[in-house]
């Protein structure tokens, strides 16, 4: 190694990392059909390797409950806690294009 090359030690460089911004909350779902669709899509993401969004900080007012392990249950709990953002496409009327 030459004398003019700098050795970078990741621990020596104090970079101030900002804490992650809080995740935006989705509006509550009142339609059970929309709930099922959103939860099914989220369960598919979880089965493909997405990280669950449930953590203990969301349970401030609730009594301790064990976290579900199945992707479908995790997805339903995430949707119930408004942790999953979703878009509802505008419907087109027949004959309009």
- How far CA 25 is from CA of 2, 38, 80, 88, in Å, comes to 52, 14, 11, 16
Residue ranges of the chain with pLDDT lower than 70? 1-16, 18-19, 21, 56-67, 95-97
pTM beyond 0.85, yes or no:
no
Between CA 10 and CA 16, with CA 15 as vertex, the angle to 5 degrees is 145
Q: What is the pLDDT of residue 16?
A: 59
Alpha-carbon distance of 83 to 47, in angstroms, equals 17
């Amino acid at each position: 190694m030459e004398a003019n090359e700098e050795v970078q030690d990741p621990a020596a460089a104090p970079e101030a990392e900002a804490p992650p911004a809080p995740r935006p909350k989705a509006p509550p779902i009142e339609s059970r059909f929309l709930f099922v669709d959103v939860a099914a899509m989220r369960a598919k993401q979880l089965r493909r390797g997405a990280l669950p969004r449930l953590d203990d900080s969301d349970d401030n007012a609730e009594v301790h409950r064990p976290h579900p392990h199945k992707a479908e249950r995790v997805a339903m709990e995430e949707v119930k806690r408004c942790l999953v953002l979703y878009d509802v496409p505008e419907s087109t009327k027949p004959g309009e294009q």
